[in-house]
């Protein structure tokens, strides 16, 4: 049994904000690309190129998508950082301020190791993926954690 519990460090909070910012950026780029294609098609059909001024708004949306986690930093971190995570050979159980989740270890898609944190990514997350900080390990050890997720851990610098 492995248990992570406690207050996340500033470094871990920055890791989480960076992950959320990247996800927001990717989602907003996809959205902006679709709307850009639509704007170009409408501009070509109607010969009204002034419509392309909406592209400025799309660029702003991309910026907001990446910056959103930082704009609401306190609320974002409160909702996304778990209070307690317990992992055994079969299940990952995480508790947040507003919800809790239990998933099978077999449903873990990959585990990203970023600095002294592990970000557990599930195949079909119904709620959220889970960030664990090695400094918050209260029961068990990192070797046991890495054995449970052997072959799924990817180190990111």
> What digits encode the pLDDT tens for the residues 59-118?
999 999 999 999 989 999 999 999 999 999 899 999 999 899 999 999 999 999 998 999
Given this model, what pLDDT does residue 103 score? 92
* Long-range interactions of 108-115: CB distance < 8 A, separation 24+: 108/149, 108/152, 109/152, 110/152, 110/153, 110/154, 111/149, 111/152, 111/153, 111/154, 112/153, 112/154, 112/156, 113/153, 113/154, 113/155, 113/156, 114/15, 114/19, 114/156, 115/11, 115/12, 115/15
- pLDDT interval class at 128 (50, 70, 90): confident
Given this model, what pLDDT does residue 115 score? 87
Q: Is the confidence at residue 23, as pLDDT, over 90? A: yes
- pLDDT interval class at 50 (50, 70, 90): confident
Mean pLDDT in the chain? Answer: 92
Q: Which residue(s) pair with 91 in the sheet?
A: 104
What mean pLDDT do residues 50-63 have? 90
Q: What is the pTM of this model?
A: 0.85
Give the residue among 119, 117, 118, 76 at the shortest CA–CA distance from 98: 76
Given this model, what pLDDT does residue 149 score? 93
- pLDDT interval class at 47 (50, 70, 90): confident
3-class DSSP assignment, residue 3: strand
The span from the CA of 23 to the CA of 29, in Å, is 10
Given this model, what pLDDT does residue 89 score? 87
Q: Is the confidence at residue 125, as pLDDT, over 80? A: no
**Who's near 17: CB < 8 A, 6+ residues apart?**
69, 70, 73, 76, 77
20 contacts 114 by C-beta, under 8 angstroms: no
The span from the CA of 57 to the CA of 30, in Å, is 14
């Amino acid at each position: 049994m492995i248990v992570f519990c406690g207050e996340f460090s500033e470094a871990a909070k920055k890791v989480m904000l960076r992950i959320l910012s990247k996800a927001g950026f990717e989602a907003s780029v996809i959205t902006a690309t679709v709307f850009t294609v639509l704007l170009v098609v409408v501009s070509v059909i109607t010969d009204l190129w002034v419509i392309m001024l909406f592209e400025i708004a799309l660029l702003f949306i991309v910026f907001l998508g990446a910056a959103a986690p930082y704009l609401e930093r306190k609320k974002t971190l409160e909702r996304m950082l778990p209070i307690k995570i317990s992992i055994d050979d079969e299940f990952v159980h995480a508790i947040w301020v507003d919800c809790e989740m239990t998933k099978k270890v077999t449903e873990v898609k990959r585990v990203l190791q970023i600095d002294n944190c592990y970000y557990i990514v599930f195949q079909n997350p119904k709620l959220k993926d889970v960030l664990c900080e090695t400094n918050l390990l209260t029961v068990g050890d990192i070797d046991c954690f890495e054995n449970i997720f052997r072959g799924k851990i990817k180190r990111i610098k």
